[in-house]
Amino acid sequence: MQFEPVIGLEVHAQLKTKTKIFCGCSTKFGNPPNTNTCPVCTGMPGVLPVLNRQAVTFAIKASLATHCKINKESRFDRKNYFYPDLPKGYQISQYALPIAEHGFLEIDGAASDTIKIGITRIHMEEDAGKLIHDPARARSMVDLNRTGVPLIEIVSEPDLRTSDQAGAYLRKLHSILKYIDVCDCNMEKGNFRCDANISLRPLGQKEFGTRAELKNLNSFKHVEKAISYEIERQTYVLEEGHNVIQETRLWDPVKNKTFSMRGKEEAHDYRYFPDPDLVPLIVDDQWILSIEKQLPELPDEKHSRFMKDYNLSDYDAKVLTASIELADFFEAVAGPLKDKKQAANWVMTTLLGMLNSKGITILESPVTAIAFSKLLALLEKEKINAGAAKTIFDEMVDTKKDPKIIVKEKNLEQVSDLSALETMVKTIINENPEEALAYRNGKTRLFSFFMGQIMKKTRGKADPKIVTQLLKSNLSTEPSIEKK
Ligand code: ADP
Ligand code: MG
Ligand code: ZN
């Protein structure tokens, strides 16, 4: 029997407000433990939460960017459970009436089609604290700095069918939240976290099967790998005639497998009820409209514009708009240049290659967009050739020097003096009569041999376009001679 995977993702994104969701404490990461705290976020009796307006604005912005319908009235509820990182004994969240519902985002399918993935709801909630375990001294400590930091939870419809689609959905959502600047989206730091729900059903069946929920997925790769593993595991369970049990599983990135954390019988009954300390959240049209006006160009729109304005392929535009930082970098590079396609190629290969090999982000690039643009301007004006440009680029990475200075220092100015190059071409042909003969007899592969000789003579500085023309004309001036 063939099975079809059904996947739905729940994403928690930390909103980048300066202060917490219900008190004035700082949200700054990395401060000494328990210094960003007050009676409200440490859950003292008798305190009252006050909703942070900026957090609501960010939540609405994220909702609009994912095509959700904003609920003009939403509510905060108490989600009750006991855990040492939750001093109040409940988390303030939204349950029955979330801030937004019924959205979607679009991802690329395998057959260069577009797939719409539904977003069930987006709700606001507060984060919990952090436990720090110290097994050496057999103790655990709690840091409440994160307690009360604002989150949105974005719940997808069970519309995803493969781990690749899940990865694409997550990357798209990540990219959108970065574009609209409401979340730092650092998965390792945990301010963009994902739980994945997976079930299988016999192909053609309408009802969903029993699902497992995967937690502890802190990179895109882990999400994709864990889902693939889980699909394989559940297929095996079903093929063996057993049932998948509803449970929460964790991903072990070392062993590359999921393992059971808790079963359904241990699942919490949260006893949600409306928080009596908070009035319903009313959002009027004017507020929504003013946020809508602040929405920047989103990834899909930027992608279309890049194809149109810069004449880029669908693929190139996708690579360059995947992150807002890369898109901005590319636009700053390409802006002053004529050849946008060349700029795109250099950004995608040379620049991204360098970042990749150094393991750094574009924000940490030793070569700025302006410096990179200057380098490509020299190439465009044929002051240097592509080989020299690469040498200069490597030097810029090491020294951060201006490309023009490197050209002077290393004497890399392109040789485009026609008569000097023509003399050189003639000499090379005379010095290599056998190769010249073979070329003229059809061994055209030897063209690169001659080009190589000229580049050797000029230490790589000859204008390849001029040399190509000169070689072609000089190598074909004599009639073809029969080989004896
Ligand atoms: P919970 O509150 O227990 O996490 P929800 O109904 O809110 O449950 O669903 C959470 C996520 O699980 C959603 O993203 C949803 O799309 C997904 N989901 C629900 N049922 C299934 C299923 N049978 N298989 C896979 N995913 C599912
Ligand atoms: Mg869940
Ligand atoms: Zn506080």
Give the DSSP letter string of 202-237: ETT--S----EEEEEE-SHHHHHHHHHHHHHHHHHH
Supply the pLDDT for residue 43: 93
Which residue puts its alpha carbon closest to atom 13 of ligand 1?
A: 8
Q: Which two tokens stand for residue 432?
A: 């290599």
CA–CA gap between residue 236 and residue 239 (Å, rounded): 5
CA–CA gap between residue 314 and residue 311 (Å, rounded): 9
CB of residue 9 inside a 6 A radius of ligand 1: yes
Going from the Cα of 61 to the center of ligand 1, the distance in angstroms, rounded, reads 24
CB of residue 37 inside a 6 A radius of ligand 1: no
Contact 195, 217 (CB under 8 A): yes
CB of residue 10 inside a 6 A radius of ligand 1: yes
Q: 290: helix, coil or strand? A: helix
Contact 282, 72 (CB under 8 A): yes
DSSP string, 413-471: --B--HHHHHHHHHHHHHH-HHHHHHHHTT-GGGHHHHHHHHHHHTTT-B-HHHHHHHH
Q: Which pTM does this prediction carry?
A: 0.84
Using left for φ > 0, alpha for ψ between -120 and 50, and beta otherwise, residue 67 falls in left
CB of residue 123 inside a 6 A radius of ligand 1: no
Supply the pLDDT for residue 420: 80
Going from the Cα of 197 to the center of ligand 1, the distance in angstroms, rounded, reads 6
CB of residue 199 inside a 6 A radius of ligand 1: yes
Task: State which ligand 1 atom lies nearest to the alpha carbon of 155.
Answer: 14
CB of residue 234 inside a 6 A radius of ligand 1: no
CB of residue 21 inside a 6 A radius of ligand 1: no
Closest CA to 392 of 372, 376, 413, 407: 407
CB of residue 5 inside a 6 A radius of ligand 1: no
Beta-ladder partners of 153: 12, 123
CB of residue 208 inside a 6 A radius of ligand 1: yes
**Exposure of 112 by Cβ count < 10 A (0-12 exposed, 13-18 middle, 19+ buried)?**
exposed
Q: What are phi and psi of 92, to 5 degrees?
A: -85, 125
Beta-ladder partners of 118: 104
Helices (H), 275-385: 285-294, 299-309, 314-321, 324-334, 340-346, 352-358, 369-380
Going from the Cα of 210 to the center of ligand 1, the distance in angstroms, rounded, reads 10
CB of residue 19 inside a 6 A radius of ligand 1: no
Which residue puts its alpha carbon closest to atom 15 of ligand 1?
A: 8
Supply the pLDDT for residue 416: 73
Q: 361: helix, coil or strand? A: coil
Going from the Cα of 3 to the center of ligand 1, the distance in angstroms, rounded, reads 18
Nearest bound ligand to the CA of residue 215: 2
Closest CA to 448 of 428, 419, 421, 431: 428
CA–CA gap between residue 218 and residue 141 (Å, rounded): 23
CB of residue 156 inside a 6 A radius of ligand 1: yes
Supply the pLDDT for residue 462: 83
- For residue 20, the tally of other CB atoms under 10 A from its CB is 26
Which residue puts its alpha carbon closest to atom 7 of ligand 1?
A: 155
The residue to mutate among 101, 163, 197, having the most atoms of ligand 1 within 8 angstroms of its beta carbon, is: 197
Contact 318, 303 (CB under 8 A): yes
CB of residue 6 inside a 6 A radius of ligand 1: yes
CA–CA gap between residue 466 and residue 421 (Å, rounded): 8
pLDDT digits (tens), the chain, 484 positions: 899 999 999 999 999 999 999 999 999 998 999 999 999 999 999 999 999 999 999 999 999 999 999 999 999 999 999 999 999 999 999 999 999 999 999 998 888 789 999 999 999 999 999 999 999 999 999 999 999 999 999 999 999 999 999 999 999 999 999 999 999 999 988 899 999 999 999 999 999 999 999 997 889 999 999 999 999 999 999 999 999 999 999 999 889 899 988 776 666 789 999 999 999 999 999 999 999 999 999 999 999 999 999 999 999 999 999 999 999 999 999 999 999 999 999 999 999 999 999 999 999 999 999 999 999 999 998 888 888 899 999 999 999 999 988 888 877 777 777 778 888 888 889 888 888 889 888 888 889 999 998 888 887 778 888 889 888 888 875 654 544 4
Supply the pLDDT for residue 326: 95
Going from the Cα of 91 to the center of ligand 1, the distance in angstroms, rounded, reads 20
The residue to mutate among 117, 119, 121, 155, having the most atoms of ligand 1 within 8 angstroms of its beta carbon, is: 155
Supply the pLDDT for residue 469: 87
- For residue 444, the tally of other CB atoms under 10 A from its CB is 11
